[in-house]
């Protein structure tokens, strides 16, 4: 055998005649795939066949999966969903900024800045501990109730603030965990290079920390996307509220199913993307 054929050997070998080992593995794979297929099909079939056999199926179908109501209400729901997207679009950057600021507060090391650190701790403790709806009510009705003139008493402003307060507390904790995950030696190394504390944080710690917590933050933003619907409690007619209006008009729950579909269309790709990022990160680490 000359040199080139040795190099090409395994490739040619795999292409022409698989080894017994490869044959065996391919067989196992085929068998697993077959079993997975049969089991999935039978579960789906069982659901399709058995659920409609339930005595109340007709009533449930009419109340939740009513084609006529769905067609009548879906366009209105889509239109209302634009408001969700808008609220999300202006809340998310604010949350990222405030979250980062709070995380940095909690990480201050200078003794003189201890009050800042205390503030960071109190902030995350309070806003992570409160139900979102309560914060929305208190801020959304309470602050405008102090007598602010229009447009400064708008529920959009104060509702957004409520979302920012709660979600930035979560984001801050995630970012802090990212900061903590950076080994102490990195700071020491930066210090030995003559970097100030501030520069160490900015050029050494944060870039690594943020990258580590991107997937976790993606999860939070998916949750935020759903919690935007809670703003409907203080007035804005977003998709969930619009679905409620339709529900009451038609005495039918189908509009909620329509709203759920709209949410899924957005959250499923976002979730998949978060998974993809997480996998990529895990691979990079190993």
| Site residues (vs other proteins, CB under 8 A) | 56, 59-60, 62-64, 141, 144-145, 147-150, 153-155, 232-237, 241, 244-245, 247-253
Q: How far is the CB of 64 from other proteins (least distance, A)?
A: 8
- Report which of 210, 215, 214, 219 is spatially closest to residue 182, judged by C-alpha positions: 210
Q: How far is the CB of 245 from other proteins (least distance, A)?
A: 5
- State the minimum distance, in angstroms, from the CB of residue 235 to other proteins: 3
Cα distance between residue 181 and residue 95, in whole Å = 22
Q: Among residues 69 and 204, whose Cβ is nearest to other proteins?
A: 69
Angle (nearest 5°) at CA 86 between 81 and 88: 95
Shortest distance, position 92 Cβ to other proteins, whole Å:
23
* CB atoms closer than 10 angstroms to residue 167: 25
Which residue, 158 or 170, has its beta carbon nearer to other proteins?
Answer: 158
In the bound state with other proteins, the residue whose beta carbon lies nearer, of 244 and 270, is 244
Distance, CA of 214 to CA of 170 (rounded, Å):
13
Closer to other proteins by Cβ: residue 235 or 271: 235
Q: Count, in order, helices (H) and strands (E) of the chain.
A: 13, 0
CA-only gyration radius of the chain, Å: 27
Please tell me the distance from the alpha carbon of residue 183 to that of residue 205, in angstroms, as a whole number: 9
Closest CB 157 distance from other proteins, rounded Å: 10
Residue 120 or 140: which CB sits closer to other proteins? 140
């Amino acid at each position: 055998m000359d040199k080139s054929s040795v190099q090409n050997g395994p490739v040619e070998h795999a292409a022409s005649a698989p080894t017994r080992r490869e044959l065996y593995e391919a067989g196992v794979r085929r068998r697993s795939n077959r079993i997975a297929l049969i089991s999935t099909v039978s579960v789906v079939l069982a659901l399709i066949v058995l659920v409609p056999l339930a005595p109340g199926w007709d009533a449930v179908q009419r109340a939740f999966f009513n084609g006529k109501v769905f067609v009548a209400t879906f366009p209105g729901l889509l239109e209302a969903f634009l408001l969700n997207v808008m609220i999300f679009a202006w809340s998310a950057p604010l949350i990222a900024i405030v979250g980062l600021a709070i995380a940095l507060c909690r990480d201050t090391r200078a003794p003189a800045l201890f009050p800042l650190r205390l503030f960071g701790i109190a902030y995350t403790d309070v806003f992570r501990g409160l139900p979102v709806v309560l914060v929305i009510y208190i801020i959304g009705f309470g602050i405008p109730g102090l007598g602010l003139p229009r447009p400064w008493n708008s529920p959009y402003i104060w509702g957004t603030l409520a979302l920012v307060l709660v979600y930035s507390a979560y984001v801050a904790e995630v970012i802090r965990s990212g900061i903590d995950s950076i080994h102490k030696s990195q700071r020491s190394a930066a210090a030995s290079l003559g970097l100030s504390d501030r520069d160490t944080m900015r050029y050494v710690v944060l870039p690594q920390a943020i990258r580590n917590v991107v997937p976790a933050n993606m999860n939070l933003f998916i949750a935020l996307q759903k919690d935007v619907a809670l703003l409907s409690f203080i007035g804005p007619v977003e998709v969930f509220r619009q679905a409620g209006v339709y529900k009451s008009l038609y005495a039918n729950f189908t509009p909620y199913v329509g709203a759920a579909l709209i949410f899924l269309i957005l959250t499923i790709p976002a979730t998949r993307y978060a998974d993809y990022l997480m996998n990529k990160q895990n691979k990079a680490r190993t």
